[in-house]
Every structure is written in C-alpha cells, then in structure tokens.
Structure 1
C-alpha cells in the first residue's frame, strides 16, 4: 500500500496533470462496464450510470435530492379519479439524430415498454397503463387501469426514458436520446465517450466532453485516481483507501447513501432452499457487521428487509434475523439438512466478491458448504438473473423503492406469495400517506418472515473526486452519474 511520502508525490503529479487538463472535459471512473447502452432493454445498473440524464431523458426525472421533477414533460394534469395523466411536452426538443421528439415518440416508448414481448427489465412499471393517446404533437394522455399516485415516480426511472422508432434498433451500441450529451464512441473493455449536445433544449452543461473509464480492479482504481488519469470515481471500489484521499486537500471524499439494498439472494425454488427453515438458518448464520467491516471497511447500514433505512417508511427488522449460529444449526437439523452444499455465484463488484468470501466462511461455521463461482457481469445476467441457475448470489439492488419485485414470481429469486402480491396491488391504488405506510410496513414484515433472502446492508455511496470538481451527486436516488450540473472550479 502507498505510504504518506508516495501519496504526497502522487498528489503533486495530480496537481500538475490537473493544471494541464481542459477545464471543460472530465474522466469518470466506473467499476463495471455496461453490457449495452440501452436502459430500456437491460437490467445492469452500469447502463444508467452512463446514459441516465446524460444521453436519455424521460417524462420526469430524479433530482439529486430524490424528488421527482419535470423532464421532457414540462407539466402534467391528473384527472379527479386519478386514472388519467395528461402530459404537456416541451417544445423544440429533438433527438441527437435531428428528428423531433413529440407525443408519437412517447406513445411508442410506453407501448413498447408494456408490450407482451417487451424485454424491459422493469416491465412492471408500465403494467398499470391501459392506453396511451396522442392528443396533439405536444400532448399525450396516459390512461391507467387504476389510480396510481406513484406514476410520475415510475416515469422517472431509466427504464422509462423516451426513445424513437427511427433509432431504437441501434440503442444497445449507439444510443440516440434527447439529453444534454451525445454518444460519440465506445471502446469496449475500456471506455465510453460523450460530447455536449449543442442542440439541447435545456440549459447547456458546463462540460464539453466526458469519458467513462471502466476500472474493475480496486488497486488499479486507486492508482488511476492518484495519477490523475481519472478525475472522479463516484462509486469508488476501494473504500479501504478513502482515509488517504480524505487526508489530502487535492481530493474530495464524497460519502452518501444509495438505494442499493445489498442482499444474499436465495433461489427460493432450488431444492432445500424452498424450505423456509433453511432460508431462516442462512439468515441467522450471517453476521452483517462482519461483512460490512470486512468487505466495505465499515461503510454500509445493516438491513433486515428489502427497504432503504433513509426512507421514512423503513421498518427496522434486523433483530428478526440477528446473528445466531446455534439457532441456524438447530434449524438445519429440523429441516434434515445437516450436510448442505450450495452454489454461490458472485458478480464482479467488490462488495460481492469480498462479501462472498466472508459469507461462505460464516455459512461453513453452521455446516453449510458453498462452492463459489466468480462470474463476469454478462455471465451473471445470463445465468443468474435470466436463467435462474444458482442457489445463492450477492447483489445490490440499486433501483429506488423496489420492494414490489417480491410480487413477481418469475423474478430471479422466484418468491411466490399471493398474499404479498395482493398487498402490492392494494398499494398501487392507495394514495393516502398513512395507509401507504401501513401497507409498506406489512410488506417489509412479510418478506422478513418468509426469509426470502439474506438481507445484508444498504450500500453506501463512497466517491472520490479532484477537489476542483463540483456538482457530483452526494446521494444516489437512482443509479446515475448525472453530469448536467458538474463543472470545474478555479
């Protein structure tokens, strides 16, 4: 590891390189490369981290504080019965290929997302849409099958961005959106480059160019920041080095919260894991704080259900699955599973790879052996997320307020509880805040009682940046590296 002398020399090198760098260009570090660049056709968070608010925009969008603000829709009206949303679109918006963005594109995007053959990873967001009507080029009417006060929130997701029929076929490799930046180049295995859109309908960004550099190895990420090869790393993969950056005035360490519930996902239909006693045993074998300390160097908040602790409707259920190896072994004996062997598939992020080794050791102490397989992101998506060919995996679900995934029996962890599904349907048509809180508390309790997954911790957002950069998000209300407000200071 670098000593203080090395750190000081590297900081001087960074200062020199920073002085030569263009004040309107930036290089952003990312631990994972996206498998494609189409947020409407892929589940990987890394897609949105490149394109959300930069290349693609939706009717609404997330602000840095998590609030929902207008996007391509300047405003919207809601019918008295709450089932019809009429969106007024902004004038003069064009896609990067010069074609106009209008109500026909909105209809195309929403109808495509909710179609029977849709490959949208969050198709459930659009399930309540009964019809989409073009009123005129700048007005679109969306009719819902039932009232849904959360509809503007759903339209802010990256999966709900507006695309055009003329360019959607090339979206995976050459995305064409309406955002303040245009796609320019993708060097697969290395980086994606974007450039300022001079025809942007809104306020022009301060940055003329940005490069997203993919660096998965924590040591290489540290070296890249120290050398000035990367200007900012919003989700830094080496938290053990944050103290060194924090002690140096050339850097700013940015610590916030995310929507990322990090879980030990359990295939609820995989042999012995269909037994709630076995899943409960796994939950009690886990020592959350040991995982947070060992894998995340203390950054992270323990969770006992699939809900963000910073959410006002959070219910603290960590005590229900507290670390208790003796209880875990007793439950395994009751279930007749005293010689259990499971497969643990781990995607690339450090929280998964490092956390997986710790989890495997904890399970071994209660008599559960695990066979670890390290998968690349594309492999994980194909084998685990799509193929459901796994016993255990570790992944952080970074989508906002996504407890509704437990109402999807075909989702990758294959939890099927009609009671929970009915509860989510009731939540969807409930607008009263107190009633919604009660329903969300019940939902959190149900999945905790069923020990659907091993709930580990809420992922912290730990970033590092050149201290002359301002405007990066502190918190992550959605999975994004929004560069619209980022600039270099003197």
Structure 2
C-alpha cells in the first residue's frame, strides 16, 4: 500500500540503526526435526493477489517481483536478469528476464506474464487499490519473450522500486490457489486461522531449508505472546512491553529492528471539530510523545512529528517539535480560536463541544495504549476524546467521521504512502486518505516529487510537503516504532533490515527462505 530511490538520499544512520538480538539463540522445536515453521501475525490477508495489493512492496513468500530488496534497502534483480536500462529522457525503462524461471504449476515465466500483471492493475475494470502507485505507466510491452518495456507518461524516479510487485501468470490466478514464482507454494487457506505454504523445491534462487511455513492469524497481542510461550508459534511480532518476557530466555531470541513505521492519529477533515485546525494543533501540542516512547514502547522507538524519520535524508530538518507536552501553548491556541472552557472542563465554540471519537483496532494493545495516553493528555487542554476499540470491518465505514489511530510508513521513497494518504485524488479510497484531506498546495508538491527525475527537485518538493502537512496538522504523528520480533530456535542467515509498515510476511521474515536451522 498499502521507487528508483536515489541512494544518496538514504542516510547511513538508517542502515546501521538495527539493534542486535537481545540474547543467544538456543536450539528450539525447529531444530529438533520438525520441518514446519509457524509465524504468528496480527492481521489476516484480505487477498493473495498482487494485482489487488497483496505484498506490493515485495514481502511475499509466494511471489517474486522483477526486483527485490537487500537488507540495506538497495535493489537487486529477482525475476529480472539484471538492473533495468532507462532511456535518456527517463520515459522508457527496459527489463530483461532471468532464464529458467517457472511458476509453481510448471509454466515458464515470459514477458507476457509481466505485461499482464501491470496492465491488469492499470485496467479500471480490475479495481486494483494500488493502481495509483503505477499511474506514471503509459503502457507495458513485450517485444520478445524475455524483454519487458515500460513506457512512462513522465520520468518517474520510483518506478524501479515499484517493480518489487509480485508477478502473476498471464490470464490471472485462481484466488483459491494462487500461483507465483516464489520460494514457497500455496497449500491451504483456512479463513480466520492460517495459511499453509510448502517449499518450492524448483525455486530459481535455491530450495528453502525450512520446508513448511504456516502463517497464523492472531490479532490480539497477548494471544500471540501466549501462543509463542506455549510453543505453538516459532516466531511472531510483539509490542515492546509484551516482548520483554522473552528477553534473555533460553531458546528464544528477541530482535529489535529499526523501522519507518509510525503510529499517528488521522483526523477526518469534514466534521466540525476534527476539521478545525486549532483543535488539531492544540491536540498535537498537548500529547507527551516522549512519555509514550518511554512507557508504552519501553524505549523501542522515538517521537514522531511527520511521516519521514529524522535519520532518512528525505527528512525535512525543520520538521520537529517538543517531545514533551506543551500545555500552555495548547491552551493558548484554543483560546485564540474561540474554544472556551466549559463548566465540565471541556471546551466549546458556540454550541459545538470540543469532543470527538478516536477509533483503534481492539486487538492491538499498542494502539490502545497510545490512544488512552493521547486522550488523557488532550483532556488536560479541554479536548474530550471518546475512545472506541473496534474491529476493522466496523472501523472502515466510519473513517470519514471519526478519528483513527493509524499505522503506516515506508523507508523506500517519499512517494510511497504519502501520495496515497494526502493527495486529494485518493480521498476515501479505503485506507488511502480516509479523512478526505485536501490541500491544492500539497497536491502540487506531491505531483512535482512524483514526476521529477532530479533528486534535488524531489528533495525540495518533499521538504515542502512535510512542511505543509505539519502546518495543517493533517495528522498528529506520535511515534516511530522499532519492530520487535521474537524467534524460537537457532537459525543461520537471519538478516536485519529497515522495516516499512508491513501486513504481509515482510520485515525480518522476508528472507525466511534463506534461513538454515542450526547454530
């Protein structure tokens, strides 16, 4: 969602920010002969089709893209035989395909499969939720069986990054049995429970050592922690406080991995209260981000004031703030805007009370704690925040009316996510721009950053973008997270990276097909 990234714009600080494991890994169940590795994740997939947005950033075990990412975030060829060639005007990008690649059903990969994947995404009839990410593509052609040519409407620097998208066979895939070229083949999907995968013994990159992978769905953080402790899971992702019980435990390793993944509050722009910039600004001033990092994240994160981490060179250094609460300034902003304290301590402007609902996914303990803390802080400034822990099906239809504790973020390119979340053309497209935010100046700089091939021009555009949404307080950004993975047993080949906000088997698990059991 959820591209050629100028290497110079990614700072070395990001690439070295991953924490080392917290304790020695000891042999676990996997090392005792069980060839199934069970991963517990927090949310079930909506679908298993790259065309419909599944693992578009490459975090899939069943599909490969033309390109993939190394742990340092640099791009490397996957289904492509070599890096692409770009024409001098930046409007034609040509890939040559790797020899000897087959789909799980035995069909040989050809350029027609690549053409089908991308043209289907761009076809309005397909209703692909990620079509906007590929809007720069004018057409995709297959001059021969091993060549793919992208013709662009304008030079689009992030295109190569976008080609981590999984390729499906010409003609599409059966939703009940998806077929890709990846290191694992689909075996079974039990809705509400798990997906089972088996090693692709003919994988072009080499057969995986771990022969079976089960991805189990467990939305509740405490449930995932309990099931890992009971030996039902071999690995999972947990909030920092929930993971503390495993630190130093024999047979378990805790990995703390740097990420561009943030938590923040999305404000709908149409309602009278959340649509008032003074309310949003005062709310942001009232929250104590540092306390959230210290207590809720147990130090595994940092305060956030915008969508780009400070240690990525795309970050605008002017985007900062007070990590602690600034209650005097918050109350001044409200006073100046005419929001007067009531007898109950809650402010009002005329007949409108400074009160709104903040939703969060009920099973996500981290978002719940952040929401509770934010509501408590806001009340001190006279803003009432009514909390609602709901499931995603209940949340989605209410996002244009009620605020939401959201999570997003990508380290790859500032076009990622930000265009989808803040360009007015994306308003109301599911979880893209759910608050219907609209600012013509923001639209203009997002388009400029997307359409320029000049790194300096793009940097200027995204600096201005960050400044504009900060001035609008379109969201209240709270924290960047360190992702905390807990793994039972000992494996060679685990490589830490810099995470995005992942919903597939990305992050630490992205390269599980290269892991080998044993010390």
Aligned CA-pair RMSD: 2.5
CA distance in 1, matches of 2:266, 2:475: 5
Q: Is the 8 A contact 2:30 2:36 kept in 1?
A: no
Distance 1:124 1:308, change over 3 A: farther
Aligned residue in 2 for 1:484? 513
Aligned residue in 1 for 2:386? 371
- The correspondence for 1:116, drawn from 109, 115, 124, is 124
Unpaired runs of at least 5, structure 1: 1-10
Q: Report the alpha carbon displacement of residue 245 of structure 1 after superposing the two structures with TM.
A: 2.2
CA distance in 2, matches of 1:50, 1:232: 21
Distance 1:272 1:243, change over 3 A: closer
Runs of 4 or more consecutive aligned structure 1 residues displaced over 4 Å after TM superposition: 14-19
Q: Counterparts in 2 of 1:110-189, with a 5 A limit?
A: 110-156=118-164, 160-168=165-173, 170-171=174-175, 173-189=176-192
Q: Secondary structure at the match of 1:461?
A: strand
CA distance in 2, matches of 1:18, 1:203: 20
Q: Report the alpha carbon displacement of residue 106 of structure 1 after superposing the two structures with TM.
A: 1.2
Distance 1:50 1:73, change over 3 A: closer
Q: Report the alpha carbon displacement of residue 242 of structure 1 after superposing the two structures with TM.
A: 3.4
Q: Secondary structure at the match of 2:462?
A: helix
Q: Secondary structure at the match of 1:198?
A: coil
- The correspondence for 1:335, drawn from 337, 353, 365, is 337
Q: Counterparts in 2 of 1:25-36, with a 5 A limit?
A: 25-36=36-47
Unpaired runs of at least 5, structure 2: 1-22, 340-346, 348-352, 428-432
Aligned residue in 2 for 1:278? 279
Q: Secondary structure at the match of 1:363?
A: helix
CA distance in 2, matches of 1:294, 1:449: 28
Distance 1:223 1:274, change over 3 A: closer
CA distance in 2, matches of 1:219, 1:212: 17
Aligned residue in 1 for 2:296? 295
- The correspondence for 1:219, drawn from 194, 209, 222, is 222
Distance 1:246 1:61, change over 3 A: same
Aligned residue in 2 for 1:350? 365
1:407 aligns with 2:419: no
- The correspondence for 1:192, drawn from 185, 190, 195, is 195
Distance 1:438 1:346, change over 3 A: same
Q: Secondary structure at the match of 2:513?
A: coil
CA distance in 2, matches of 1:49, 1:354: 30
Distance 1:422 1:53, change over 3 A: same
Q: Report the alpha carbon displacement of residue 101 of structure 1 after superposing the two structures with TM.
A: 2.5
Q: Secondary structure at the match of 2:458?
A: helix
1:70 aligns with 2:77: yes
CA distance in 1, matches of 2:27, 2:419: 47
Q: Secondary structure at the match of 2:514?
A: coil
CA distance in 2, matches of 1:41, 1:344: 29
Aligned residue in 2 for 1:469? 491
Distance 1:98 1:270, change over 3 A: farther
Q: Report the alpha carbon displacement of residue 265 of structure 1 after superposing the two structures with TM.
A: 1.0
Q: Is the 8 A contact 2:228 2:235 kept in 1?
A: yes
Aligned residue in 2 for 1:457? 479
Q: Report the alpha carbon displacement of residue 307 of structure 1 after superposing the two structures with TM.
A: 0.8
Distance 1:320 1:293, change over 3 A: closer
CA distance in 2, matches of 1:416, 1:320: 27
After superposition, give the CA deviation of every residue in 1:422-448 in whole Å (9 maximum; x if it has no partner).
212222233333333333222211111
CA distance in 1, matches of 2:333, 2:212: 57
Q: Report the alpha carbon displacement of residue 214 of structure 1 after superposing the two structures with TM.
A: 2.2
Aligned length: 462
Aligned residue in 2 for 1:437? 459
Q: Report the alpha carbon displacement of residue 283 of structure 1 after superposing the two structures with TM.
A: 1.2
Q: Is the 8 A contact 2:284 2:476 kept in 1?
A: yes
CA distance in 1, matches of 2:367, 2:50: 23
Q: Secondary structure at the match of 1:272?
A: coil
User: Which of the pair is proportionally richer in helix?
Assistant: 1
CA distance in 2, matches of 1:431, 1:122: 22
Q: Counterparts in 2 of 1:224-303, with a 5 A limit?
A: 224-233=227-236, 235-237=237-239, 239-303=240-304
After superposition, give the CA deviation of every residue in 1:84-136 in whole Å (9 maximum; x if it has no partner).
00111122322223333221221111112122344333322211111111111
Larger deviation: 71-80 or 313-322?
A: 313-322
Aligned residue in 1 for 2:12? none
Q: Secondary structure at the match of 2:325?
A: coil
Q: Report the alpha carbon displacement of residue 367 of structure 1 after superposing the two structures with TM.
A: 1.7
Distance 1:201 1:448, change over 3 A: same
Aligned residue in 2 for 1:8? none
